[in-house]
Amino acid sequence: MRNWLLALALTVSTPAGAAVIGADSHGFELRHTLDLPLPPAQAIAAFGQVGSWWSKDHTYSGDSARLSLQLRPGGCWCERLDGGGGVEHMRVAYYQPGERIVLTGGLGPLLFEGTSGVMDVRATKTTTGSQLVINYRVAGFARGNGTEMALAVDQVLRMQIERLRVHGIKRGRTPGAK
């Protein structure tokens, strides 16, 4: 009952555009919606420039410029570490240019849990540019605290999506932006 009430409270208390769709002891689903003043192809390209909008505070290296995302099937959302090391945050499982990216893997500390995640990013055309809908579903062992993880991951992802929004707006205002 406690987990159900927490999940309901999370859904009701999140602002428009972000929501915990569901959460239980072994997983969660998050959805974030983002409007950008860019055509869908440019919105997907902006998402792919993860090193330009992801916060350095949520990297292993402390430097978001060390993040990269290869927009192609099998492409890596990776981070370079000192001494030749690195982190594979997610892997591109499906890529439809200008329309959709599906990534698999665990962001942040989920990497060390017995979980599996799927992030589905879809771009659709709107009258003012495009809308990105980002669904992130995580399931697995999660040490039985999927509900608590949902809150923490949603908070971090919400901050990153806001940074992506600002990045997309800057790209939309830049003459000749690609």
CA angle 18, 19, 25 (to 5 degrees): 145
Domain boundaries, the chain: 2-173
- pLDDT of res. 140: 87
> How many Cβ atoms are within 10 Å of 112's Cβ, its own excluded?
8
Assess contact for 48 and 69: CB atoms under 8 A.
yes
Would you state the CATH architecture of domain 2-173? Answer: 2-Layer Sandwich (3.30)
User: Digits of tens for pLDDT over the chain (178 positions)?
Assistant: 333 333 333 333 333 477 899 999 889 999 999 999 999 999 999 999 999 999 999 999 999 999 999 999 999 999 999 999 999 999 999 999 999 999 999 998 898 888 999 999 999 999 999 999 999 999 987 676 788 889 999 999 999 999 999 998 888 765 444 4
End-to-end CA distance of the chain: 49
Phi then psi dihedrals of residue 134, to 5 deg: -115, 115
> How many Cβ atoms are within 10 Å of 8's Cβ, its own excluded?
12
The two three-digit tokens of residue 94, written as one number = 């499906």
The two three-digit tokens of residue 7, written as one number = 């999940």
The two three-digit tokens of residue 61, written as one number = 């290296």
Alpha-carbon distances, residue 16 vs 20, 23, 97 (angstroms): 11, 18, 27
- pLDDT of res. 13: 34
